[in-house]
Every structure is written in structure tokens, then in C-alpha cells.
Amino acid sequence: MTTASYLFPPSPLATLPIAGGSQLIPVHRIYCIGRNYEAHAVEMGHDPNKEPPFFFQKNADSLLVNADFPFPKQSQDVHHEVEMVVVIGKGGESISVENALDHVIGYAVGLDMTCRDLQAEAKKLGRPWEPGKSFENAAPCSAVVLASDIGHPSQGEINLSINGEVRQKGDLNQLIWKVPELVSVLSNFYRLLPGDLIFSGTPSGVGPVRVGDRLEARIASVGSLSLAVVAP
Ligand code: MN
């Protein structure tokens, strides 16, 4: 019996470092939730009332770790969205809200970088959001902190500043859909696997970045992320 071999080597696995350790999280998928803070829903022109959550995906290999953000050349209007990233450590389907946090192994600080012009065009034409949300380097992310070390944060400041000036500021307690609910709802649509990431939504204050900007994102008890926007 012969064993099948790859025609060419597999692409590298996307990974995230664990803060203060030498191990890596092997990343499977990246899910993102839209409009999960009231004030951000309002600033984007939507009803702030609790509507069922909706999700989109970024590619795992669009993670950007310990590197500056190259401004995507296909866009003229790239926005920052600071978000808490939930890291799945135990897979499952149809997970109950009560058991959801058993499936979460850690948290990180992420940026859901968005080509707002391409997203707006897609919305207008009724097309998928991919060009605006899922592009190379679209998901800068910090090291992961483990829930065994910090617990499961449900409150605490989340903010982003550009060149020292605060642009986004909110609190994790303002999440419309809380982390256990996000995990539960998502698991009704997808088979969650260890290494899945969930970007949990952004507070208000999203806006454009420019080449030369220094972005500092911070979430109390989770960590921080600092990067420059550089020419493509
Ligand atoms: Mn977002």
C-alpha cells in the first residue's frame, strides 16, 4: 500500500503566541461579529436594539503578529476597529450558553481592519463584505492570555489611540451579545474547533488610519497591541 504524499508542501499554519510562554496557538478559523456595541451600531447608522448576531469571517493567514500594518493598496479608506478576541480551546457544536466558557481558552487584543470604501460599495451592491473585511494582514492580533491566568473578562476598558490621541473607548460590559452567547450562537452555525478565533465587535469611534500613524490598542486585563501603519 502506498501512502499519498502532498504534491507540494502545505502552506504554513497560522499561529498566535501565548503571552509570557513559548507555546503557540495553532489558528483554525477567524469569525467576526458585526455591530456588537450599541454606540458603534448607531454611528454606522443602525438600530441599537438587540438584533440577532451576524458573523463574517477573515482568513486565518490574514493574521498580523508582531509586525506593522501595510496599508492595503486597493483601498483609500481603511478603518481601525479594536476588538477583544476570544480564543476557542475546546471544540463543539450546539454549545449551551451555560457551558460556553468551558470552550474558551484565552483572549487577545485584535484589530478588525476594514476597507470601509470597499465595504460600503459591497453593501450598496448587495455583495459579500470580503473585499472590505478579508484581505492580507486584515487581522492584527496580540499574544494570547490564558483564561487560566486571567479568568473570563466581562468588564474593563477597551480602547484605541492613534499617535497618542484616544479615538475609541468603551467597556467590555457594553457588549450587546456577551462572550458565552457569541460562542453558543456561533456553534449552532459552525462546528467550532480548537484554535478558532472570535473577534467580538468594536466600540464606537472607528475611523481612518494613515501611513505613518502609530496605533495603540489596549484591553484591561487582556493586554495591548502596538503597530505602525506603513506604506504597502
Ligand atoms: Mn468589527
Centroid of ligand 1 to alpha carbon of 110 (angstroms): 10
Phi, psi of 122, rounded to the nearest 5 degrees: -65, -40
Q: Is the pLDDT of residue 23 over 70?
A: yes
Centroid of ligand 1 to alpha carbon of 77 (angstroms): 15
Centroid of ligand 1 to alpha carbon of 68 (angstroms): 19
Q: What are the DSSP E strand ranges found in the chain?
A: 15-17, 24-26, 30-33, 55-58, 63-64, 69-70, 78-80, 82-88, 104-111, 114-115, 139-140, 145-146, 157-162, 165-171, 197-199, 207-208, 214-219, 223-230
Please check whether residue 127 lies inside any domain of the structure. yes
Please check whether residue 11 lies inside any domain of the structure. no
Q: Which three cell numbers stand for residue 61?
A: 493567514
Length of the chain: 232
Summarize the confidence of residues 121-147 as an average pLDDT.
Answer: 96
Continuous H helices in the chain = 38-43, 116-125, 130-133, 147-150, 179-189
Please check whether residue 2 lies inside any domain of the structure. no
Percent of the chain with pLDDT over 70: 99
Summarize the confidence of residues 135-144 as an average pLDDT.
Answer: 98
**pLDDT level of residue 1 (50, 70, 90 thresholds):** low
Centroid of ligand 1 to alpha carbon of 17 (angstroms): 22
Q: Tally the domains of the chain.
A: 1
**pLDDT level of residue 173 (50, 70, 90 thresholds):** very high
Q: Any idea what the CATH number is for the domain that residue 118 is in?
A: 3.90.850.10
Centroid of ligand 1 to alpha carbon of 184 (angstroms): 19
CA distances (Å), 218 to each of 109, 128, 166, in order?
A: 7, 30, 11
Which residue segment(s) compose the domain that 33 sits in? 22-230
Which pLDDT value is given to residue 146?
97
Centroid of ligand 1 to alpha carbon of 147 (angstroms): 22
Please check whether residue 131 lies inside any domain of the structure. yes
Centroid of ligand 1 to alpha carbon of 102 (angstroms): 24
**pLDDT level of residue 51 (50, 70, 90 thresholds):** confident
Which pLDDT value is given to residue 172?
97
Centroid of ligand 1 to alpha carbon of 178 (angstroms): 15
Location of C-alpha cell 499519498: 4
